[in-house]
Structure 1
Amino acid sequence: MLAIKNNIMAANAARHLGQSYDALARSVERLSSGLRINSAKDDAAGLAVRELLRADIAVLNQAGRNAADGISMIQTGEGAMSEVDSILIRMKELAEQASTGSYSEGQRTIMNAEYTELSEEITRIAQSTDFNENQLLNSTTAIEIHVGTTDAITVTPKFMTATELSVGTTVATKETHVNKRTVAAAGDEYIAAAEITAAGTNPHLFSFQFGSEGTVELDLTAYATTGISLNLLVDEINQEVVDDTAGVRYAAATALYNSTYKSYSLQMQARNAGTDGGPFAITSTAGGGGIGILDNVDDFTETANGAAGTGNDLTTATGAQAALSTLDTAINLKDSYRAQLGYWMNRLETAQSVLGVQAENLLTSESRISDVDVATEMAEMTRTQVLAQAGVAMLAQANSMPQMALTLLR
């Protein structure tokens, strides 16, 4: 219908032209940004999935960087251990040189001076080797390397000073006194027989430890049947049986034990001696025979005394030969920790590689959801360009229709 007031064809052409321009603008935005989803209206569900994937990718990328930092940290410790390795080899060379009888005391003194300096250098290296204030050779505090939201690889440093390696030239002494403790005997008042055992924190076992080196263990059991017998697995001890005024026999024992381990000396006396200061417990269990048990035991005092030991000394051939054995142990300890550093490094490198693959796979998934297909979008843009051009031409034609009506009115 030819009309003057309302140009329906022009309105229709304008509407289609607007749609074409909107589609063209969307194609230009996608091609210029490289993303198929630029806002939630483009694909609401796809946008939600994409953002979750992006968060996971960011975590994996950071985990990979964490692994790389962990590798750098371990490389720092391993580099320091390499220097300790060289020092220990030189120290063993000096000990071997001082072991022979062809050198004078003065010459051995010079060798011992170098040995002492090298020992102090090991301690200096151990105390100064750190990564971001994390001690690597002078601590046992575990360091967790996070390689994912919930995953971590734990690196446990060790003490690698000259003292811990037992290659120092002095031994520290320390004396302690343990306060008195009251001990109560537990058991039936009259039983057939009794086995009474004094124990520390671990029943039947007394353990004395110096730093991380040297342990002496004492296993003590006493049995009273017709008389009294006391067995000590580490060394024999004195024993005696005493009678009270009523003629009842009781067992009493005194133990004296001396032990040497790597130039450390230990003396234990009386029922028990220890360095941990823990309480003691006396327990009774039934056997066969007849004996009365007192319910209370007098207070007693526990003491621990440390005496000065001897460190590695190359001023004598005997001391130098002893140092050789100590150095073998130190080298084994060093090699063991250095091997640990190696497999921690290998594990972190593997984790870093796996994290890279995981991030790549998630990035591929995110790309499929979010990235624009350039070929498809270019085809769409070309189509909308043609439609827009046609819309402009048709809108011009539609706008000229009222002029035809005016011609009829003349």
Structure 2
Amino acid sequence: MKFLVENINKNSGRLGLLDLKAAGGGVELKTPLLMQTTKGGSIPYLSAELFENYVQNKNGQEPVPILLQLTLSTMQQMAESLALWPASLSQYLGFPSQGNVLLLRDPCESTPSGGNDRDVAPIFTRQGKESLTPQSYMEIIATFKPDIYQGLCDADTNLESSKKRVQKSVDRTERFMDYVYEQQGKLQSASSSLLAPIVGGYNTFARTQSIKHARQQPEGKYGGYILEGFHNNGLTATALDGSQLLPIVEHCVKQLEEDKLKMMPGAYSPLIILELIRLGIDVFDTSYAYCAAVNFKALVFNYDEKSIEPRPTPFLDITDEAIKEEFVPLLDSCKCLTCQKHTRAYVHHLYKTNELLGPILLMIHNLHHFMGFFETIRSSIAQDKLPKLIDLVCKQNGDSKVDYCIVKNIKVISKAVVGKGFETTTES
């Protein structure tokens, strides 16, 4: 992995180029970069062909290379078959020409707290909790041979974590990483690039300790950083308060080398993403688009300063009975397959009848919208106009600040209410 900073603007963050050719990925990716979140190696609800033809290949243009975000919590069962697989991990998953990065936890789902111990880190899979030692983790990396992988860490912290819990996360991560740094480059995963984990919750002292441990390693041991421990994944990331998160991230970025890649996985809201990019974070993922889709929401927030469409909210609620006779696209200006071929009323009908096509169409739209958002971000940075984009996304077409938090949908579908609307459950 090679990362080159191409342009830095004082008020607009930076543009860069991530080159994975040396790692066998064969792709060059522009940053700020949006990774494609996967579950079990597949983009949720979409086949590889559907994604490539109707999402990645937009408007007949040359497809933009992607970086697949893989998670061990949804792929650990593949280790046995991958040990016998002679080609690359991306080829195994059906995306032969794309790069990949292997993380520990699924950013789309809330990660349970607990299960940490002195010598093991837990991952939560469909089969239950599994414990990873540094030795077993590096054996998995040698089997998977990802283009990029994150270091083993204890990231079980959030805003409510005690000082003792935060310190334990740092100390355990240091012990894990001592072994990972030692083994990096020695196993079959020699071509895989390592991201050094920076943990420490919302404690600046703990974050500095974690950074010092990484920076004291010999040159070339790792190719970038992954900042973890701010949330417990899933919808918790969408509700983060920027006034608490951003000062901690800024504190970290100032102590990290400028020429190193910096990644922050999680379903951060569009406004938080823009602020993080301004601070110097390079890589994010599409878990926010997924979290919106599975909670019956279409992304419709405005990021085009030329658009005059009123956007009072960043979402369109597909369960809203008010749209059942709206025979217009989810978003008038959108060029995705869903908006070009189908209407709000039809997608609403699909959800009321619990048809699988509903989430498929919604994922196509949300991914298309979010990918377009990142294209605009890169263009704004190049023109040093990111603050203007932040103001637009913050206020949309009014003076009040927009709330991008995604709330869990509690409307359920049953045979008794098909044709009559939805019923509400009190389950959380």
TM-score for the superposition, normalised by structure 1: 0.19
TM-score for the superposition, normalised by structure 2: 0.18
Bigger Cα Rg:
1
Higher relative contact order (CA 8 A, sep 6+): 1
